[in-house]
Amino acid sequence: MGEFDNKEREEVFSKKVRAGKRTYFFDVKATRSGDYYLTVTESKKRLEDGVFVKHKIFLYKEDFEKFTEGLNETVDYIKSHQDVVEKRYEYTENGEHSPKTTDDFSF
């Protein structure tokens, strides 16, 4: 059996995005046949017990175009109907974060 026999595939590329109380992971992985796919994971610490709750979606290359179209259309709708302000956060060495009030940007 090969190196890809386990459920977790080899990561080819990974991008971590901290956004307030959530962290998003964009991971490119390879199938057994070498085709790339994307996993998007949202991770958020539960306040009650400190456990990280994760939600994951898998996006395959044949769906990239339709997914991107749907996402862009949805984001454009929100932007055209409400003000969207992206908050910038500073992270300390202990992982705590606080919003930076001077670096807020509108889309």
Please give the Cα distance from 52 to 55 (Å, whole number).
Answer: 10
CATH architecture observed for domain 11-81: Roll (3.10)
Domain ranges of the chain: 11-81
| CB burial readout 56-87, b (16+ within 10 A) else e | eeeeeeeeeeeeeeeeeeeeeeeeeeeeeeee
pLDDT at residue 48, rounded to an integer: 92
Percent of the chain with pLDDT over 70: 75
pLDDT score of 86: 76
The larger pLDDT score, comparing residue 75 to residue 2, is at 75
Distance CA 53, CA 46 (A): 7
Is residue 4 scored above 80 in pLDDT? no
Q: Record the pTM.
A: 0.69
- The 3-state DSSP class for residue 85 equals strand
Q: What pLDDT score does 101 carry? A: 47
Per-residue pLDDT tens over the stretch 20-69 = 889 999 999 999 999 999 999 999 999 999 999 999 999 999 999 999 99
